[in-house]
Structure 1
């Protein structure tokens, strides 16, 4: 049987930058720092909104374009590398290999993108700063999703949860499209009108697929060598369920309700 490591060797030779020193020991040791970061993040939201309450919002078009473009390129690169690797493993070994067994997480490519992905969740908190400084509406799903994703990513990384590879891979894929859209919008470049709806739909699909993977992990947990815990299953199920509800509600409020009202008025 071809192992996941061999698949990586045959199809995904790591680039030089992917062989950068592994930060796993450091990030595992200080994973609880994510709780402190989230606390500071939430406090800064309160302070920032109070500060901007009596002030005019900043333009920040240039910095926002650069910010969104940088995250778009990063997400595209991450999506290409992780989707390619995970797809190769699934093709050669089956889905269970990527969901249960820790061997594929030892790939040089996956190890690199895993710790970079974790650090990116800290950097992406900066999205909220642009919303506050530009005095745009800050909805609950935004800051809840940003803060809990950081905590869950830190928790999964510390425990080397194999199914976390799919959490990372799907997130990279959605963010590659989402930040590209943000870049176009910030640069005031015309984009397909259905693009925002597509992104929200993909986010909802991501929650559905994440829940399915979580259930499969729970079903396969008794198999010899299947590396998972009831604790991880519980928290992944809770988070994916809340994400699904919040994004589905956002989809209905943003795209369905306005159409229903418009139809009612025309009648």
Structure 2
């Protein structure tokens, strides 16, 4: 990544003079035209330039703390209120629509994010996929990475549905939602190479996960193995995140080039270690312990 861009980024008023984004999508990796989506990207390119997006995310990171605190308080108050309610709320149609919308967003984000990752791997090698931040040159990626960060706010509604339907709310769920919101914004503020892995893996898993949830609420006959596969994908996501960030840390400590600050790497290692432990614990209790009890 251009060092001038990276550290002028913190001098937000100079960001326009450092790099000029192009709307000639044919010059960029991935699909140059996606019906409706490309028209939206063309429109936003004119009315919402990349510097505006990046400046807003950088200057408003503190909002995620307030949202996370409000989220946790909402869980406590809503759970308390539901304990006095005589009935639960099914919300079946609304929940189906909610999961379909999340699945569609994740699928489109995957289609937009992954091709650049594949291009980097083919032309620059594996290390470049997490040590080079030149993805910022593609306005579409800046846009969809930013939308990804913003999507972590409405995703908190998943928890509201769980509580109102009186489904079981596990620690993994609310810890994962609240910390992912904070982590996504904190990570992308630095425009690190590792964001390609963190965000890309997340939207791939969510494409499958929200599709599964929608089909499950529709009461379609789905084998239990599908749920197990999704949890396995999440565990693999955390393992890959750990391996990549450990290698980035090793490179940074050995003075090798890698577009990611040590602070972000250390936070990433903590997040991925915590999430891996939580998902492994969930997998063990859900698919191993319960299976033994059934047998």
TM-score, normalized by length of structure 2? 0.83
| 1:10 CA drift (Å) | 4.8
| CA deviations over 1:206-254 (Å, ceiling 9, x no partner) | 0000011101211222224x22222111111111011011100100100
Gaps of 5+ in 1: none
Alignment of 1:78-227 (within 5 A): 78-221=109-252, 222-224=255-257, 226-227=258-259
Identify the residue that residue 17 of structure 2 maps to in structure 1. Answer: none
RMSD: 1.8
- For structure 2, list consecutive stretches of 5 or more residues without a partner in the other structure: 1-21
- CA separation of 1:260 and 1:81: change in aligned 2, threshold 3 A: same
Distance 2:103 2:80 in 1: 30
Which residue in 2 is equivalent to 1:233? 265
1:248 corresponding residue in structure 2: 280
Pairwise CA distance, 1:8? 7.8
- 1:8–1:107 Cα contact (<8 Å) kept: no
Match of 1:68 in 2: 99
CA drift of 1:158 comes to 1.2
User: Could you say which residue in structure 2 is the equivalent of 1:16?
Assistant: 39
Please report how far the alpha carbon of residue 112 of structure 1 lies from its aligned counterpart in structure 2 after TM superposition: 1.2
1:9-67 CA distance string (max 9 Å, x none): 25323623234223221111111110010000000001100110021110100000000
**Structure with the larger RCO, 1 or 2 (CA within 8 Å, 6+ apart):** 1
The 1-side partners of 2:282 and 2:235 are apart by 10
Asked if the contact 2:110–2:203 (Cα under 8 Å) also holds between the matched residues in 1, the reply is yes
